[in-house]
Every structure is written in structure tokens, then in C-alpha cells.
Structure 1
Amino acid sequence: MAAERSALGELLRPIRARVRLAVAAQAISSVAAVVPFIAVAELGRVLLENGPDRTRQAWTLTAVAAGALLVRLIFLLAAGALTHFADGELALDIRRRLVRRLGEVPMSWFSGHNSGTVKKIVQDDVAAMHHLVAHSVLELTSAVVLPVTALIYLFWVDWKMTLVTIAPLVIGLSLYSVTMAGMGKHLPEYDRAMGRINGSAVEFVQGIAVVKTFGQAKRAHGRYASAASDFADFFLGWVKSTLISKTAAEIVLSPIAVLATVLGGGAWFVTRGWLAAADLLPFALLGVGLTAPILALFYASYELRFAKEAAARVTEVLDTAPLPVVDSPKLPSGNAVRFAEVSCSYDGETEVLSGIDLELPVGTVTALVGPSGSGKSTLATLLPRFQDVTGGAVSVGGVDIREMAPQELYRRVAFVFQDVRLAQDSIAANIRMARPDASEFEVHTAARTARIHDEILALPRGYDSVIGDDARLSGGQAQRLSIARALLADAPIIVLDEAAAYVDPQSEAEVQDALSALTGAKTVLMIAHRLATVVEADQIVVLDNGAIAERGTHTELLAAEGRYARMWRAHENAGGWRNRQMERTGA
């Protein structure tokens, strides 16, 4: 809890002065809000007592009430304006910092945080702090100042009757404390459940084309339904555990219950001669109004709890260590790539790669093959520095990539993966991502070379069509668009996850043509899922359990009769089986 308070305080530091000023304005507004009720109560007493200066006193009290209403309005507007402007600035600053930090953290960070979790932090958690800054702080101020001001006046009128008036408040607060007691225990589970719902919903929508293609829509939807059902069960259990105490608290604090207490106690006091009849009026007017701020206090405390939890999650992201960048970067001499005794671990304990010693001569194609989980993707992503090695070094042109400026590294290394990510922006902007200053001619040339130009022109607004709005691309089209982006970057080193592995035959031919244009005369490191695509590679590296098991050309590895040869025979057998199936079906 202390860490959460510290996180929230640190995030609010830039706007703290304005929030304090807003709290002061809200306090003045809250005091002014009580004054008209006091004036009305005093006016009733003046009129009932029938004193000699009754008329003058009545007009004075009326003027005081009107002036207090004006003061309340002015300071209320000032407080709201201060917090909303401060909140807008805070939300913008936090989201900018989050996006900047998310752009700096290792890509391996995202393997432990799904898109739903990231969305919740950037959108929902920042919104939770919006409610705190723009609304809850002022509501908490009013919830404290209003009843305190009213009680000071009521104690001045009659302290014994004031004790009767606040009896429902004491009982109601005790019942609410029971309701709040389990909140600290339930909030973390609430956040985890919401994260699961967000993640499953986002992943279901993003993968809808794939799951429908393979007839798994019901199963994929089932994961979301299961997450939603788990959340409903948890939330219903939480509500049931607080239902009795919360209901009893709201009944006790209801205006009817408080009014009944005031009138019953007041009647008893008046008949016993302990209270003048005229003095009962302030309690009837102000006593009923004490409950609303108390209820607001509890609801605002909920918002405060949520904001503290949200601030802790936001701070955790902001405190995530970025990939380190050297102050004096080195410039490589050439583009030869070397993995020198490389090891890598995601958790600092279990090694995914170990003892990788590999050279990629300039202008050659190196293919990584091996069973699933052998470390192919991890090895390939080390070159564009999606994560850092835990041992050894990856170098380009004789310089450790950790000692290069990120801009220099990405000027030399481009990548095309199966899982294409496109921004919700225009087609042209997506192609220009690597080179924002590229001319229209250069963009069109890259698209032509990637075999996607004609299909872009067929879109409603051509290159100005926006992904997700008036541009909905197939898997093959998205792949060729990402290849156009890599072509425009014109990097001398290409990291390639076999981009045509899971597209239809027609798209596969077009993607392969685009890849040929991309990789010509480049240094290529490719992950191979189908062995037929690596026959012409300059060297084939067979990975197994994170280590190099074999290396050589296709011919050399077949002659060695090792792992690769067995994989090749399995590949040929699978191909023969597919051909026989096509012959039987007449395809």
C-alpha cells in the first residue's frame, strides 16, 4: 500500500500545486454551500421569535444567503477548471511517457504482457487517475468540509441534539467500514480478471480470420466467454460478501432515516424542555444533508483505491529498464554479422540459447531450421536487438550492436516476420515507416517491386486509404506491404521469418517474388519452416535445444546423414503424401 501511495504521489507531482489550489477553492465553495442553509435556519428562528429588528435581520440573512451562493458558484467553477486542465495535462504527459517507454523496452517484455494488459495500462489505468484528479479529489474535499462546517454550526446551536443527529452517521460509517475492509484483498484479483477479459477479447478480434478459417471460432470465443464468466463469478461473490453491510449502511444513512431520527429526537427534547422549538429547524434542515457527503466520501474512496492500483501499474511500466544505449556509439565498418558465443535467457535462469558461434558473410543467405522451440526465433530477433544477449555478443561490421546507436542499427537491419503489424494509418504512411521523408515516387517504386502497387490503387483512396477503415488487406497483401516497407528502408541486412509459410498459393507466389526482390544481394538471416525454401541457401544452421547441432549447405548436410537429413526425408514424405491426396481428390 505504501508503494502504491508513493507511485501515485510521484505521478501527480507535476500538477500537485494546481490540485492543492483547486482543493482550497473547493473548500471555500463547500463552506459557502452550507451558509444559505444556515441563513434559512436563522431566518426561521428570527421569524418565529418575532423580535423588534425582525425585518432588517431577515433581509440581512437573505443577502448573506445570496452572496454565499455567488461565492460558491465562482469557487466551484474555478476548482473544476483547475482540476480538469491539470488532469488533461497529466493524462497527456503519462500517455506520452508510457508510449515512449514502450518503444524503448526490449521486445521480450511484450511476451509477458498481452495486448489487453497494455491497453488497460495505457487507456484504463490513466482514465482511473482522471477520475481521481478531475472529480474524486474535489468530491473528497466536499465530503469532509460540508459536514464539518454544518456540524460546527449545529454544535453551536445545541450539542446534545447534535449528538442525536449524528447517531445514524456513526452507525452508517461503521457498516461501511465493514464493506471496505475486504477491498484491498479483492482489487488485485479484480484487475487480473479485467486483464484476462481485455486480453482474450483483443486476441479473439485480431485472430478472427484465422480461427474462422480453421473452424475454431466457437473455441476462441469460448476462451473469452470463460474469462467473462470467471469475472462475473468473482464479482458476484465480492458483491454478495458486502451486500448486507452495504445495504444496511445505505438504509441508515438515507435522508428518511436521518430525518426520522432528527424529528423523533427533537420532539423528545422539545417536550422535555431541553430544546426550544425554533432551534429544531437547523437540525431538520442541515441534519438530513449530512448523509450525502458521507456517501460521496465512500464512493470517492473507491476511486482513490482504484487510482492507487492504477498508478502502481503505470509506474511499473515507466520503471521498466529500457534497452541500454551507449553515450558514444561506434560506427561499424561493413555489414558482416557475427554471433560470438551467444547465450540468451528470458528469465535470467533458463537459457534459450547457449554457445551460438555463427558468421553471416556479406551477401549470403543463412537459414535457421530446427524443431519448434529450438531457439530459431530467439536467435533471429537478437540481430535487430529485440532483446539483448545474456552472454557473448552479436556484432555488425566488427561492432557489438549494443555499442551502436539504435538508428544506425535499424538503418542496417530490416526485418519481415509472419505476424505483420500495420498501424491504423494510410497505406503510404505504413510504407514510409522506415523512411518518413521518402518521396511519393520512392514509395510507389517500393510498392511495385513488392507486387502490391496495383492492389493499392484499387483501394477507395489508393495510397491515402487507411488501414482498418477503407483498406482491409488479406494476409498476403499485408505481407507484401511490409516487404515494401523493408524495400524502402533498403537495409543491407535482412532478418526474415518465412513470410509466405501460411498464405494461399496465389499469394505465396507473389510474396516469394517480392521477397526475391527484397533479398537480392543482401545479407539474409531467415527462419525456415519448410525445408524446400532453404535448398539454395549459402549455409543452413540446424538448431536443437538452443544450440547449433549442424551447419553446412543442403548437399553437405544430406551427405552427413544427421538431423537435417532426417528432417529432409520427413519433408519429402510429407510432400509425397500431400501429392497423393491431391491426386485422389482430383485437385
Structure 2
Amino acid sequence: MSDVKALFGLIDKKNKRRLIGAVICCVLSVLCGILPYLGVWGIVTCFLNERTENLFQYVCLIAAAIILKHLLFGTGTKISHKVAYQTLGETRKKLFRKIARLPMGYVKTTASGQVKTIIMDNMEQLETFYAHNIPEIISGLAVPLCMEILLAILDIRVAGIMLIPVVLFILVGILMIIVQMKKMDEFNQAFADVSVKTVEYVNGMKELKIFAADESTYGRLSESIRTYSTVVTEWFQSCLKYVAFNHADLNSNLVFLFPLAGLMYLSGSVTAASYIMYLFMGLAMLIPLETVSNNFDYIGMNASVAKKIDEILKLDEMADTTSKAELSDHTIVFEHVTFSYGEGQPVLKDVSFTVPDGKVTALVGVSGSGKSTAASLICRFWDITEGQICLGGVPLNQIPLSDLMSQISFVTQNTFLFKKSIRENIMMGNPEATEEEMMQAAKDAVCHDFIMRLPKGYDTVIDKETKLSGGEKQRITLARAILKNAPVVILDEATAYIDADNEDLLQKALAKLSEEKTVLVIAHRLSSIKEADSIVVLEQGEVIDCGTHDELINRCSPYRDMWAAFEKSDQWKMGGVNA
């Protein structure tokens, strides 16, 4: 039941009141749909009694009922759709805001296809449920209840007979929902897995073509599709007997009511007119339950979706503070920091080092030594397991996240640009900047010239109106960082994709960006950090030495080995001939 509670918990109070109004309209619409049966009964009664003075009234009743039925149904549907779209819109906003506040661990460990499935595909299922299923289910159940009360007043015997299929229908329907909900998590997981594998397959299409992949290469996707097919088949089979029973149950009035009413008529306990009315009511009473039966599947399906959404909304956010922090300067200090991703082995172990204010500090080490992790912790993409990181003498968790990020420009090797204009992408660094400041940042990042060669210049939409190279995208992200002009700059392989022609210009731009700023640099090209004020050497998540290039060359053998390997690789030529 907690899943069903979550389903209705997504609707706010205002929209719950609107949804009640929509349900009332739909109930009245269904009742109006039954009135024509009574009108027909009245007309038949007139003919049986050979009295036609009320015939016109019954005809008017039928016409008015049909008109009111459609008016009320249209009004109820309009209201329920408004509730559905507003609820979905607000829920999507809540999910986006929530994900933005979660640790980067959630984003890193949750496949983008799975997040997309929940926010887009699964949410669309909820639209159908709120807009159609809820009004139709409630109104479909309300009508037989009202008619049962009417039959109980007219003839308790008929009411008792007609109550049997209604009660059986409700009980079997509840059992079907319980069975569905037991398998729904497995169903949704299989569906999400297919989405994830499909996204992976499409993104890797270039590699598949390059390596002439055969059908066996698509094994993971094929397996996920087979699993999904199996789960869906088992899910439908588990519900099949309940669906079959309910369809038979809804036609049981042919077995119970008609013979009983006929015997009552033959015995003289009811009139011919009453007999006909009972037949019409028996037919009309169970018709709304057909709609309910068709909508039962959606309850378990959407309750499972709502549960997933509710679980995300209840995830622990990064702890934040509203208290303003006074920074003495922009020195970064790691004090005995230990960090691990989840329950795994620590990536950083008792790490301590200082990035002095206004100085350039480099982190070096082989792949997997924890360099990028250490840089990410400064931005509080994750919270550390043990120890403390301070900025300007203040622990990071005592600085509001928005204030912390305003102090840092972070440029990584993995560039990301939004599908907006180049101008909008650069201006994200400082939305208040002028056009001249934005262009100057682009010039400093050595990207102004190639931008001006594009058909629409700075108004060119990335990846829609043009395809940029990796180096061009890298320079645009650097322009964004330059425009931000934050006092702390973190460069994680920021020049990884820069071509040789522009490397010298870009190094000058980076030097300008770093003037009078606290800079942390991560680079595999050791020549680019040779002049750093301090170099921190990491090995297997631990700091093994710290000093200038000359000091480390003399006393740190791991650094000396890395430098020798770099010089050797820098001299390598195609064919293995050294320069």
C-alpha cells in the first residue's frame, strides 16, 4: 500500500481538490449514461400500458442525459488533464532539483538511460493514470454502488443477487493488483535495463562499425531484451486468470439476474414494467466495471513508478549551510583526508597537502592514483569519509555550496557543452558579463577566430548547426572559466585535446587565467607543470612526496621515473626510431 500512497502523494493539495472535482464530474457523467436505459424502460412501460402521455418526457430525458453525459465527461477530463500535466511538471522539476543537490556519486553510478527512463518515459505513464485512470476507476465503482442502493430500496432480493458479481469483481481486482505489484519492480528494472543498454549500443555505434562487430558483440543488449520479454510474459501470465475471471463475472447477470427476475415475474411478485427495469439495470450496472477492469493494470504499474520517484526524492542530499563563511584567503588544505566510492577500497588514504593562496600546485601520479578524485573533492562533488578539506581556513562543509562553486573554476579533460549557442555556453561562466567581456574571454582562450568563421558566429548552436572538434570544445570551456574569473582554478588535463598549433597560445592563456589565483593543475604532460610552485606526488591514493620539480628529481624516485618515461615518450617517433 505504500506504493499506492506514493502515487497519490505526488499530487499537491490544490490539485487533489481539483481531481476530486474531476472524479465527481465523471461519476455524474456515468450516471447520465445510465439514464437513457431508464428512459427506454419508461417508453416500454408506456407502450405496455397503452398510455403515451409521458412518452415525450422520456424522450427528452434520454436526449438531456446524453448531452449532459458528454458535457460532464468533457469537463471532468479537462480538469483531470490539467491536474496530470501540472503534477508531472512539478514532479519533474522536483526531480531535477533533487538530482542537482545529490552527491556526484549518484550521477556517476546511475546510468543516464535509467534516469531518462524515470523522468521521461515512466512519468508519461503517470499522465495517463492521473488524467484518465483515476476518474474512470472511481466513477466506474461509484455507479454500481449507487445502483445497488437504488435496487435495495426497490427490491432487496434483486440487490442481493446483483451484489455478488460486484463483490467478486472487487476482491479479484485487489488480488490482481497485489500480484502485479510483486512483479512490477522486476518489470520496471528490466525496462530500464533495456533503455540503458540501448543508449550504450547507440553511443558505441562508431566502435562497433570500426571493429566490424558481429551479432555476438550485441550480447548484453540482446540478453537485456530477452530478459525484458521474459519478465513481461510472466507478468501478463500471472494476471491472465484474474482478467479472465473478471470478464466472466461481468456477464454473470445472465446467469443470476435474468432467471431470478423471470421467476419473480412469473410468480406475480413483480410487474412486467419492474421486470424490464431490473433487466435494464442489470445490464447497465456492470457496464462501468468493464472500464474499471481495463484500468486495473495501470494501478500496479504506476504505483511502482511513483515508488521509484519517491525513493529518489527521499535520497540524502549533500549537507548544505546557509551561514555565510568569511574566507581569510584562498588556500586549500587537505588534512588527513580519506575517501572511498561507496563501500569499496579507499581511493585516497590519509592525504595531507596544501595548495597555497596565489600559487600553482600540481598533482602528479600514474593513472588511478587519485588525482582527479582529489580535485573533485575540492568542489564537494562528494563528501569525504575522514579528515577535512579547508578553503581559506573554513571547512568545505561550512561553506554554502553556491558560494563554494562561485569561488572555483573547474576545467576538465571531459568537455561538456549544452546544445545552446556558443554565446550562451560561454556566458554561463558569468551571466552578468558584457558582450565585450565575453568576447575577450574567447580571445584569451584562443577560440574567437574560429567562432567568427562559423556561419552565425557566437549565435551558432553547438552540435546542431555545426560540429566542433574536441580541441575547439575544450577552448570554449576554457573561455567559460576565464569569464567566470574565480579566485580558485582547477585544471584537470585542461589541454588534453589542444592541437600543437595552438598549444603555445593556450598555455599563455592559462598563464593569464592563473595570474594571482590559487591554481591546482593535473596533467600527464609533465613539461606543463615543471614550473609549478609545488608538485604533489600521489601513488595508490597516498602522498609520497611534495616539492619543486628540481627537488623531486633529486629525492623522489617515483617522480624521477615518471619524468624519464615522459621524456622517452616525448621523443618517440612512428616506427620506434628516437629523435
Normalization by structure 2: what TM-score?
Answer: 0.87
Name the structure 1 match of 2:36: 36
The alpha-carbon distance between structure 1 residues 503 and 205, as it changes in their structure 2 partners (threshold 3 A), is farther
> 399-408 or 515-524, which moves further after superposition?
515-524
Deviation at 1:443, TM superposition (A): 1.6
Residues 1:227 and 2:195 aligned together: no
Deviation at 1:571, TM superposition (A): 4.2
2:23 maps to a residue whose letter is: V
C-alpha separation between the residues in 2 aligned to 1:292 and 1:131?
Answer: 21
Deviation at 1:204, TM superposition (A): 4.4
Deviation at 1:485, TM superposition (A): 0.6
Residues 1:422 and 2:421 aligned together: no
> What CA deviation, in whole Å up to 9, does each residue of 1:154-195 have, x standing for no partner?
666666667777777677667666654421221111121222
Name the structure 2 match of 1:10: 9
- Correspondence for 1:140 among 130, 137, 142: 137
Deviation at 1:530, TM superposition (A): 4.3
Aligned ranges for residues 20-99 of structure 1 at < 5 Å? 20-50=20-50, 54-99=51-96
Aligned ranges for residues 347-358 of structure 1 at < 5 Å? 347=342, 350-358=345-353
Name the structure 1 match of 2:104: 107
- Correspondence for 2:573 among 566, 575, 579: 579
The alpha-carbon distance between structure 1 residues 308 and 438, as it changes in their structure 2 partners (threshold 3 A), is same
The alpha-carbon distance between structure 1 residues 480 and 205, as it changes in their structure 2 partners (threshold 3 A), is farther
- Correspondence for 2:194 among 186, 194, 197: 197
C-alpha separation between the residues in 2 aligned to 1:211 and 1:438?
Answer: 44
- Correspondence for 1:252 among 237, 248, 253: 248
C-alpha separation between the residues in 1 aligned to 2:216 and 2:525?
Answer: 28
Name the structure 2 match of 1:390: 385
> What CA deviation, in whole Å up to 9, does each residue of 1:64-121 have, x standing for no partner?
3333334333432332232222233322322222222222222222123221232233
C-alpha separation between the residues in 1 aligned to 2:202 and 2:436?
Answer: 35
C-alpha separation between the residues in 2 aligned to 1:448 and 1:575?
Answer: 29
For the 8 Å contact 2:30–2:288, the answer to whether it is kept is: no
The alpha-carbon distance between structure 1 residues 513 and 351, as it changes in their structure 2 partners (threshold 3 A), is same
C-alpha separation between the residues in 2 aligned to 1:217 and 1:495?
Answer: 43
For the 8 Å contact 1:173–1:249, the answer to whether it is kept is: no
Aligned ranges for residues 438-587 of structure 1 at < 5 Å? 438-501=433-496, 515-560=510-555, 562-572=557-567, 574=569, 578-581=572-575
> SS at 1:581's partner residue?
coil
Deviation at 1:430, TM superposition (A): 0.9
> SS at 2:52's partner residue?
helix
C-alpha separation between the residues in 1 aligned to 2:557 and 2:482?
Answer: 37
Name the structure 2 match of 1:369: 364
2:37 maps to a residue whose letter is: F
C-alpha separation between the residues in 2 aligned to 1:157 and 1:75?
Answer: 28
> SS at 1:499's partner residue?
coil
> 408-417 or 287-296, which moves further after superposition?
287-296
For the 8 Å contact 1:416–1:497, the answer to whether it is kept is: yes
Deviation at 1:271, TM superposition (A): 9.5
The alpha-carbon distance between structure 1 residues 146 and 460, as it changes in their structure 2 partners (threshold 3 A), is farther
C-alpha separation between the residues in 1 aligned to 2:515 and 2:205?
Answer: 35
For the 8 Å contact 2:257–2:282, the answer to whether it is kept is: no
Residues 1:313 and 2:312 aligned together: no
2:493 maps to a residue whose letter is: E
C-alpha separation between the residues in 1 aligned to 2:120 and 2:554?
Answer: 57
For the 8 Å contact 1:143–1:296, the answer to whether it is kept is: yes
> 375-384 or 286-295, which moves further after superposition?
286-295
> 483-492 or 355-364, which moves further after superposition?
355-364
> 19-28 or 132-141, which moves further after superposition?
19-28
Aligned length: 577
Name the structure 2 match of 1:338: 333
> What CA deviation, in whole Å up to 9, does each residue of 1:434-490 have, x standing for no partner?
211212222222122222223323334222222332233222222111111101111
C-alpha separation between the residues in 2 aligned to 1:212 and 1:520?
Answer: 46
C-alpha separation between the residues in 2 aligned to 1:575 and 1:219?
Answer: 39
1:191 maps to a residue whose letter is: N
Name the structure 1 match of 2:184: 187
For the 8 Å contact 1:253–1:291, the answer to whether it is kept is: no
C-alpha separation between the residues in 1 aligned to 2:457 and 2:467?
Answer: 12
C-alpha separation between the residues in 2 aligned to 1:540 and 1:448?
Answer: 30
For the 8 Å contact 1:114–1:199, the answer to whether it is kept is: yes
* Identical counterparts, % of pairs: 30
2:21 maps to a residue whose letter is: L
1:33 maps to a residue whose letter is: G
For the 8 Å contact 2:419–2:462, the answer to whether it is kept is: yes
Q: Gaps (5+ residues) in structure 1?
A: none
Normalization by structure 1: what TM-score?
Answer: 0.86
Deviation at 1:386, TM superposition (A): 1.5
> 509-518 or 478-487, which moves further after superposition?
509-518
